[in-house]
Amino acid sequence: MSRLFEPTRANRLLSCQLIALVLALTTQALATLGQDLSSVQSDQAHLKASVRIVHAQNFSVHEMQTPTGTTIKQYVSSAGTVFAVSWQGAAPDLRQLLGEYFDQYVTAAAHTAHGGRGVHIDNGEFVFESAGHMRFVVGRAFLRSKMPQQVSSDAIR
């Protein structure tokens, strides 16, 4: 509408670079627990989320903010495997995040006796923890055999 917003040549170039960067990030950024980074590109689209990537030693963290305000982090090893996921905010789509492990979570959760609220499941390989209250949950899940060496589960928050 206003001339002020007509893109300059430099701005156009910058916009193209930004778009290319965002596309590069989104096409390689996301996956589901236990799956290969390159095998799944649907989470970001499914969760309609924005992404940023933080590199740590031995792994990288792909952090998304969904439109519902939930922060989701996916932890990817240098071998390209999603070895952990974490979430904080409104309840996320756990079927999408946990992939094939979602059914293990549901089965184990159903066998938890004595009422409850806090969830802590550990079958030796798959570990799932969730806490919180209505409108706010915090949790994480990880695969012991896929954890990079020298990375503690404390790194998953």
In the complex, least distance from residue 100 CB atom to another protein, rounded to whole angstroms: 14
In angstroms, give the least distance from the CB of 30 to another protein: 17
Residue (31 or 156) nearer to another protein, CB:
156
Query: Of these, 3, 10, 67, 150, which contacts another protein (CB under 8 A)?
Result: 67
Q: Does 83 sit near another protein (CB under 8 A)?
A: no
Longest dimension (CA), the chain: 66
Rule CB under 8 A: is residue 25 a binding residue for another protein? no
How many CA atoms lie within 13 Å of 19's alpha carbon, on the beta-carbon side?
Answer: 6
Give the nearest distance from C-beta 34 to another protein in angstroms: 17
DSSP 3-state assignment of 2?
coil
* Cα distance from N-terminal residue to C-terminal residue, the chain: 45
Distance CA 34, CA 101 (A): 8
Quote the least distance from Cβ 61 to another protein, whole Å.
16
CA separation (Å) from 49 to 42, 73, 76, 92, 111? 11, 11, 18, 12, 33
9 binds another protein (CB under 8 A): no
Q: Which residues bind another protein (CB under 8 A)?
A: 48, 67-69, 89-96, 102, 105-106, 109-123, 129-140, 152-154, 157
